[in-house]
Amino acid sequence: MLHSLNTDIQAPERFTYPFCYEPHPLCVMAAKEVQAYIGIHAEIREDADKGKMFGVLVVEHEGGLAYLAAYSGLLAGRNDWDYFVPPVYDAQQPDGHFKTTEREISLTTHHSPLIAKKMSQDLQLWLFHQYQLLNARGEVKDLVDIWQSYYSRPKLRQKFPLPPSGTGDCCAPKLLQYAYQQVLKPVCMAEFWWGATTKEEIRQHLNYYPACRGKCKPILTWMLEGLEVDPNPELLGFAHLDPKTVYEDEYIVVLDKPSGLLSTPGRIEDYSVETLMRQRYPEAVIAHRLDMGTSGLLIVAKTLEAYRPLQEQFIKHQVKKKYVAKVEDGRCKKEEVRGTISLPLRPDPMNRPRQMVDLEHGKRAVTDYEFLSDDLVALYPQTGRTHQLRIHCAHPDGLGRPIVGDELYGTKGDRLMLHASEIWFTHPVTHQEMHLASSPPFVDSEI
């Protein structure tokens, strides 16, 4: 399970911050070896092709640098592949307590569903206690203790009383647990996706991704104690960019927001369009929002009196918006040059801020589209869900072509190639019909 790395590449000074990182060259090297291994093992590749997260952990040992490999959950129904580290706890043993009790619950369900439900809850709690997780100092906590220590405040404890099912079976906890057990020093870590984008997971083949926050944030916070870890890049602040004024009168301002600037203050960063506008106009309110990575037109009301009629127009879907996006190569055919995408969305609780398609519980999300060229598409949202345009472009039931530079649903780049290029609305005070435009900065010619 320990695979040597023959290289002159220097190890990093600190361990990877797993929730926001650029993969270190050592991890890239290790990942390529894992990818080659998957490619030549048919049974593994066949299951991985359906979509699976893999991870690598570079470690120091007596012979120098080496790496460990892992996969999330089960691989081809197994968790005992020789090339990969074992699970933190193996619940798949046919004669073990977990599988034996599962069979008892299945038999009980038919005649005593309430008893079966209680047995299932007890079994899940028992399983959580079996996950005895180490940190870099050699200390041990089980999954329940880790979870309740992380969510220690009463309100949070009430909201997150126990871990979700499957917690502890992701790549990162498996890798660190095995390294600590074998007295190996962790150097750097990365996770990549192999295979198809699924309807649940909008991921791109061989792209690197951060550890999931919903299941892994409490665990890794514990397991990394005692290691010197890179600082969270999200806490280092962002460039203080300035928006350009496209239109202004005594009631409203329409700005051209650059990519990389928040519309409103974030959880960490206060600098935003709204804070800038309030320095000039104390009552200023943003009438709508654009993602930080999205550039383009943004309406600001200078007063509450101007804001309320604008808000009503947005609520009633009376504001029309056109976005232009540059999309990756994909399957779109000429006969699909225009159309409508309807895929309901909801937040992904395990991977915030990601959103996901949910046909049963998601909120209505509709986008009209029209291709302007092979890789440029005009998007006209009928609704305004979070990440709607990004998912409707990336999802296999949408365009199947992620927006260039979309690190959540596509491939990370210099910027998200999405621009709010035109907007139509009624002036909140003069009632004049307004139409404003801004050319996408990533397009050379007029469109």
Which residues are known to be catalytic?
A: 291
Helix (H) or strand (E) holding 118: helix 113-130
Strand-strand pairing, 208-209 and 252-257: unpaired
Q: Which two structure tokens, joined as six digits, stand for 424?
A: 């139509």
Backbone angles phi, psi at 315, to 5 degrees: -60, -40
Q: What are phi and psi of 51, to 5 degrees?
A: 120, 110
Inter-residue contact 345 to 357 (CB < 8 Å): yes
Contact indicator for 252, 409 with CB cutoff of 8 Å: no
CA–CA distance, 37 with 31 (Å, rounded to integer): 10
Q: Tell me, what amino acid is at 354?
A: R
Q: For 215-294, list the strands marked E by DSSP.
A: 244-248, 252-257, 285-286
72 close to 215: Cβ distance less than 8 angstroms: no
182, two tokens: 């074998």
**DSSP element (H, E) containing 6:** none
What is the strand order of the sheet 52-61 is part of? 3-4, 64-71, 52-61, 185-194, 208-209
Residue pointed to by tokens 């051209």: 256
Cβ neighbours around 54 below 10 Å, total: 24
What share of residues in the chain are helix, strand, coil (percent, to 5)?
30, 25, 50
**329/114 Cα distance (integer angstroms):** 52
Distances (CA, A) of 294 to 21, 63, 404, 418: 21, 48, 12, 5
Phi/psi at 328 (5° precision): -70, 165
Cα–Cα distances in angstroms (integers) from residue 3 to residues 62, 65, 188, 190, in the given order: 13, 9, 15, 16
Query: What CA–CA distances, in Å, run from 75 to 80, 165, 171?
Result: 9, 17, 12
Count CA within 13 A, CB hemisphere, residue 151. 19
